[in-house]
């Protein structure tokens, strides 16, 4: 199934996509590497105002796939023109927490044992 077929399948709002295994439907991601996928998901989380545990899970996935914290922050900055500053401002502390930094806390991660 090429990308045009997959787009068509998505465009008809096939409800099975939300329920079933993506592989069965042939729309599972196949070209995108895990790192880019995780970064895209972080961008999407910012856009929908996702909660902290979701950021935690996706930030971990991004680092697991080789992304650096700096790249994750690049994503936040990079989507400001699209989603607007307020959503990114709201997401920043959650992303920080997901990376092990509490912005409200004076102590740095890897600081005190």
Positions touching another protein (CB under 8 A) are 34, 52-53, 56-57, 60-61, 63-66, 68-69, 97-98, 100, 102, 104-105, 107-113
CB of 48 to another protein, least distance (A): 19
Minimum CB separation from another protein for residue 34, in Å? 7
Nearer to another protein, 81 or 111 (CB): 111
Residues with Cβ < 8 Å from 77, sequence gap 6 or more? 88
Question: Which two tokens mark 65?
Answer: 């796939």
Q: Which is nearer to another protein, 40 or 80 (CB)?
A: 40
Kindly provide the b/e burial profile for residues 4-14, where b requires at least 16 CB atoms within 10 angstroms of the residue's own CB: eebeebeeeee
CB of 108 to another protein, least distance (A): 8
């Amino acid at each position: 199934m090429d990308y045009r077929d997959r787009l068509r399948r998505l465009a008809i709002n096939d409800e099975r996509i939300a329920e079933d295994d993506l592989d069965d439907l042939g729309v599972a991601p196949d070209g995108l590497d895990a790192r880019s996928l995780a970064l895209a998901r972080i961008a999407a989380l910012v856009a929908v105002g996702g909660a902290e545990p979701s950021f935690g899970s996706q930030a971990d996935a991004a680092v697991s796939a080789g992304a650096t914290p700096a790249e994750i922050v690049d994503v936040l900055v990079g989507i400001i023109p699209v989603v607007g500053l307020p959503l990114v401002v709201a997401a920043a502390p959650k992303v920080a927490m997901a990376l092990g930094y509490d912005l409200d806390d004076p102590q740095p991660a890897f600081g005190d044992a």
